[in-house]
Amino acid sequence: THKSDIDFETIENAPAKLTIIDATGHVVQQLFSGQLTTGKHTISFEKEKVAVGTYFLVFETPTIRKAVRMEVR
């Protein structure tokens, strides 16, 4: 398989979601949904489950929403 690791850090204990969306806002894949503790985390992403293209990786908690552009090749 062709896996990529996504590393991120949280500053609070909170429910969180990590989602891949396409340019139209359609959810392509939900990578994580659940409770996270403060600190560093790693989520594995299987690239072959999505088509080649440009996507946005969206991280959400009750107090933050961050989107990062991502290229799948």
Kindly state the percentage of the chain with pLDDT values over 70.
99
The pLDDT mean for the chain works out to: 92
CA distance 55 to 64: 19
Quick: pLDDT tens for 30-59.
999 999 999 999 999 888 888 999 999 999
Q: Please, what's the b/e burial string for 43-73 (b: 16 or more CB within 10 A of its CB; e: otherwise)?
A: eebeeeeeeeeebbbbbbbeeeeeeeebebe
pLDDT at 42: 95
CA distance 3 to 61: 25
pTM for the whole structure? 0.87
